Amino acid sequence: MFHVIYRLVASRDSFLTILLPSILYFLAYQYVGLMSAVVVTSLYGLLTLLFRKELGMIALAFALSGFVELTIAAFVPREILVEAVVLKLAMGSLSTASVFLVFSWFKKPIPMLVAEITTPALKGSRESTGIPSLITWQRVNGVWVFSYLCKSVFLLSVDSVSESELVGYTLALGWPLHVGLIVVSVWVVNNSYKQACHKRAANKS
């Protein structure tokens, strides 16, 4: 299980879309301020679409997020920049949860699609043996949806956020949350796989 988690967390795509933006955001904030941090990560998001087209919809979503942040930095008055970025983060989490729900409705849960791209054997196992089942992937998808909804509610509920608090929220609710969700997802799928195998073995005996 741990080698699967490591492969997902340490993959090139995870590094480029989750970890590197967090590092850039933190360094830019520390040395040149919040406005520059927003601009730097926004431009990075737009460049991702240009140079990493193989990421498909992930790159497009990342670029759209970058465009929104760049618009905020360009037109939102400095005195309400923090509130605007917090709102953008909250709405981004809400839209992510909505996308997960839509894909789930069409029986294409995003965690399943991503996992089967990373580990093609999972798709073959699901199609040939029904393990892990679609129901299992739907449960995993539900965990992601619930987490993003909680993130959105939390951000919308906080009052008078300072710049340093905003940076802390952005970092804590970015890469660490992503890693945590991957760990939970792999555990759920792995546990379901073991239970299904044991049940099949018991039926044969």
End-to-end, the C-alpha distance of the chain in Å comes to 27
Distances in Å between the Cα of 125 and the Cα atoms of 60, 128, 157, 178 are 30, 5, 43, 25
Per the model's pLDDT, the better-predicted residue between 59 and 38 turns out to be 38
Burial class (CB in 10 A: 0-12, 13-18, 19+), 110: buried
* Predicted local confidence at residue 139, as pLDDT: 92
Q: Model confidence over 64-74: pLDDT tens digits? A: 665 666 676 66
pLDDT at 44 over 70: yes
Q: Are 58 and 13 in contact (CB under 8 A)?
A: yes
Computed over every residue of the chain, the mean pLDDT equals 76
pLDDT at 199 over 90: no
Mean pLDDT of 159-181: 81
Among candidate residues 199, 190, 197, 173, the one with its CA nearest the CA of residue 18 = 173
pLDDT at 9 over 60: no
Q: Model confidence over 112-168: pLDDT tens digits? A: 887 777 777 778 878 887 778 888 899 999 999 999 999 999 988 887 788 788 778
DSSP state of 132: S
* Predicted local confidence at residue 1, as pLDDT: 47
* Predicted local confidence at residue 201, as pLDDT: 65
